[in-house]
Amino acid sequence: MPIDNPYYSAAVHGDFELADIGDLVLEEGATLRGCQLAYQTLGTLNGAKDNAVLIPTWYSGNHSIMRDTYVGSGRAIDPAEHFVVLVNQIGSGLGTSPHNLAGPYGRGRFPRVRIGDDVVAQERLLREVLGVEELALVFGGSMGAQQTYEWAVRFPDRVKRAAPLAGTARMYQHCVVWAQTLVDALTSDPGYAGGWYRDPADVRGGLQRHAGLFALHVLSNEFWTGENWRALGFSSPEDFVVGFLEAYFEPMDAGDLLTQAWKWQHGDVSRHTGGDLAAALGRITARTVVMPISTDKFFPPEDCAAEQVLIPGSQFRVIEDVHGHASLFGLTPSYLDQVDDALRKLLETPA
């Protein structure tokens, strides 16, 4: 029985459309029948059909965060110039997700979904629904960066430019282990009941612990020691944790987050090449700029740099910001200026 959760609605996230892409056979063996993707488009596909920009979403994120943070008039990604497709991942809460799926695969029986499944679904959406065969740019942060890498490796002839931000092509063990603490925080809550809770609030304690763990890792050490929470309008570290992180996660569905977390933990483009990461990244023909965040604990610059050197003709640009992985929310103008500058230069580069 699906759960009604008003957080996952246009009233909260703004306009979006649902596309039924048909039956999606997942890499782990199950089939999502009548799989639906939630997406929003901005701008117009030009006559040459070569101005499409795809923006996938991160863990817990959605199209509205990406739209409001990275897209706009005068920005590098501008709907006046580009046909922007903002697509929510499977399990995001918008579109096919554990909490809203009826039938045998709903709720606690929702199947394992991989990053590759998202990209296959997105390719079907673009080609069959929107008439897009070529992408001028794929740009995403965190799990969106994982999807960006998957696109560039799986469909090298379709992606002209790629900009993975604060993410890696393969998950590394320090991040896998840490993500497991998020999983454990949710599943250990008695209210979780193996995924068969009746209301999102039944897992309130787990969601609060989940937010507390994010406080340890999503922000940099410099954020805390420099008391940078003050500039964001909070009176203490505790006030920031409750007023920002707990408030952010509290309305979400635990099962949806767990679906995304498993994907996050198992992202790895080298599945396509028998575990050979160099061979997988060597497939990329897109003009690529790899953009780690200087203080990111999830995807530190050194992990990103080790992958960037394996991508033919790619560039490496560190985005300097004190907010760690949470910089992705666009918390300072200087962060946004750096990302826009990198994207603008990439889009100006002939493909």
Q: Last residue of some domain: 192, 225, 260? A: 260
The answer to the question of residue 122 being in a domain is yes
Whether 86 has a pLDDT exceeding 90, the answer reads: yes
Burial of 131 (0-12, 13-18, 19+ CB in 10 A): exposed
CB 115 within 8 A of CB 263: yes
The answer to the question of residue 88 being in a domain is yes
- For the chain, the domain total comes to 2
The answer to the question of residue 1 being in a domain is no
pLDDT of amino acid 351 = 87
Considering the domain architecture, whether residues 16 and 104 belong to the same structural domain is answered as: yes
How far is 188 from 185, CA to CA, in rounded Å?
6
How far is 348 from 297, CA to CA, in rounded Å?
31
Q: Last residue of some domain: 260, 287, 303? A: 260
Residues 6+ apart with CB under 8 A from 254: 186, 189, 192, 197, 200, 203, 206, 207
Considering the domain architecture, whether residues 72 and 116 belong to the same structural domain is answered as: yes
Measured between alpha carbons, how far apart are the two ends of the chain, in Å? Answer: 48
Confidence tier at 258 by pLDDT (50, 70, 90): very high
Whether 274 has a pLDDT exceeding 90, the answer reads: yes
Average pLDDT over residues 227-251: 97
Considering the domain architecture, whether residues 155 and 212 belong to the same structural domain is answered as: no
For the stretch 320-347, pLDDT in tens is 999 999 999 999 999 999 999 999 999 9
The answer to the question of residue 333 being in a domain is yes
CATH number at residue 29: 3.40.50.1820
Query: What amino acid positions are annotated as catalytic residues?
Result: 142, 296, 325
pLDDT of amino acid 1 = 83
User: Is 0.75 topped by the overall pTM?
Assistant: yes
The tokens describing 5, both together, are 């959760």
* Structural domain for 165, as ranges: 10-171+268-348
Considering the domain architecture, whether residues 67 and 207 belong to the same structural domain is answered as: no
